[in-house]
Amino acid sequence: MRNKSTEETELIARIVAGEKELFHELIRPYERMVYLTVFSIVKNEADAEDGVQEAVISAYRHLGSFRAEAKFSTWLTTIAINEGRKRLRKAKDAAEDSIDEPTDGQEGDYTPAPLTDWREIPLEALERKELREALRRAVAGLPDIYRQVFTLRDLEELNIEETAEALGLNPGVVKVRLHRARILLQKQLVPFLKTAVPARRRFFGRAL
Amino acid sequence: MKLDCKHVWERISEYIDGSVDAQLREDIERHLEHCEICSAILDSTRNILILTADDRTFELPVGYSERLHERLAKEIESSGKDLKKE
């Protein structure tokens, strides 16, 4: 049976054999993924876009060295990460800034925010623009090591192993970082979720 | 095993991903049945992930795709006959 990856492998073979224009088609399904990956590292739109162009061109130039046993999406993500990191290093060198990333130690509070006045967020609340905006800000504000794992796993929906491979981490570290990223976001977004959802009035009417 | 809330919070991410073993899953589900706080934390975390995966939350810059393909077209046009091999 033909599946997506078989078609992709054939497409790659044709490009390498000389039908270079087909590279446009190969890359199209991954445009969003590559952008979000680079953006998660460089954190600004203009740099991310330049970085994507460099990463995609690099993928094009090196397509001949791509091995079919690998997954194209993971290979491409790795190139995108390297490009993002290269840009970040340049920017940091320019600013003579030190790299002050948190480590995977136990410091920090990774306890979720408890909620008591609602059970579920209705779908209408998730449709609210304010909530999306709050989420974007919260993700942008995550420490780098958590944001990168979160982006690959929860935005781009890579699995734990693919995320680990792309970032050069072991899967256990990916799981810890992912858990912390999600809890940090949950904590930050609870106030927005609460205002998005009217508090239940179940305590009214009780004898006080 | 009877779990307390803190244990549930520690495993919430793996529970959402379906990567806890059957026994732990059962213990967590039993806890969720009677714990409104943990249920709400689980719901809110799940909803954040739904919102994250929604394409409208993280949008691409306007014209991003066009600019990318334009640059790529130039590269393809100017590139040599063979793509690099290792």
* DSSP sequence for A131-162: HHHHHHHHHHTS-HHHHHHHIIIIIS---HHH
Nearest-angstrom CA–CA distance, A78 and A91: 20
For residue A34 the two structure tokens come to: 């590559």
Give the H/E segment covering residue A75: helix A72-95
Closest of A113, A43, A33, A124 to residue A84, by C-alpha: A43
Cα nearest neighbour of A33 on chain B: B60
Distance CA A113, CA A116 (A): 10
**Which fold is adopted by the domain A123-196?**
Arc Repressor Mutant, subunit A (1.10.10)
Most confident of B15-24, B49-58, B74-83: B15-24
- B54 by Cβ neighbours in 10 Å (0-12 / 13-18 / 19+) ranks as middle
The average pLDDT across B53-81 equals 91
Residue B83 lies in a domain: no
pLDDT at A160 over 90: yes
Task: Using pLDDT thresholds of 50, 70 and 90, give the confidence band for residue A208.
Answer: very low
Nearest alpha carbon to residue A79 among A98, A95, A65: A65
Contact A64 B61 (CB under 8 A): no
Which residue has 């998660």 as its token pair?
A: A40
Does A186 contact B69 at a Cβ distance shorter than 8 Å?
no
Say if the Cβ atoms of B57 and A136 lie within 8 Å: yes
Phi and psi at residue A84, in whole multiples of 5°? -60, -45
Whether residue B12 and residue A112 make contact (CB cut-off 8 A), yes or no, is yes
Q: Give pLDDT, residue A103.
A: 64
- Closest-CA distance, B54 to chain A, in angstroms, reads 8
Alpha-carbon dihedral sign for residues A192, A195, A196, A197: positive
**Quick check: is B86 in a domain?**
no
- Where on the phi/psi map is residue A185: left (φ > 0), alpha (ψ -120 to 50), or beta? alpha
Q: How far apart are CA A103 and CA A101, in angstroms?
A: 6
pLDDT at A182: 96
Name the residue with tokens 């790659």. A12
What's the CA gap between A150 and B53, in Å, rounded? 11
Most confident of A26-35, A68-77, A99-108: A26-35
ipTM of the complex: 0.86
Q: Has residue B36 been placed in a domain?
A: yes
The pLDDT-based confidence of A69 (bands split at 50, 70, 90) is confident
Q: Which of B64, B69, B77, B83 to mutate to test the interface with A (most CBs of A within 10 A)?
A: B83
A196 has a pLDDT exceeding 50: no
Residue A44 tokens read as 């600004």
- Total-model pTM: 0.80
The domain spans of chain A are 4-95, 123-196
HSE-CB at A176 with a 13 A cutoff on CA atoms is: 12
The residue in chain B having the minimum alpha-carbon distance to the alpha carbon of residue A181 is B13
List pLDDT tens digits, range A18-65: 999 999 999 999 999 999 999 999 999 999 999 999 999 999 999 999
Q: How far apart, in Å, are the Cα atoms of A201 and each of A117, A176, A204, A205?
A: 9, 37, 6, 9
Q: Indicate which of B19, B37, B46, B57 best probes the interface with A, i.e. most A CBs within 10 Å of its own CB.
A: B57
Contact of A166 with A78, CB cutoff 8 Å: yes
CATH 1.10.1740.10 is right for the domain spanning A4-95? yes
pLDDT confidence tier of residue A205, bands split at 50, 70 and 90 = very low
Reading the block at residue A58, the tokens are 């690099």
Total domain count for chain B? 1
Any idea what DSSP says for residue B16? H
Range of the domain at B39: 5-78
Q: What is the pLDDT of residues B27-49, one digit of tens each?
A: 999 999 999 889 889 988 998 99
The minimal CB distance from A64 to the residues B40, B75, B83 is found for B83
A49/B67 Cβ within 8 A: yes
Is B84 inside any structural domain? no
Residue B56 has pLDDT above 80, yes or no: yes
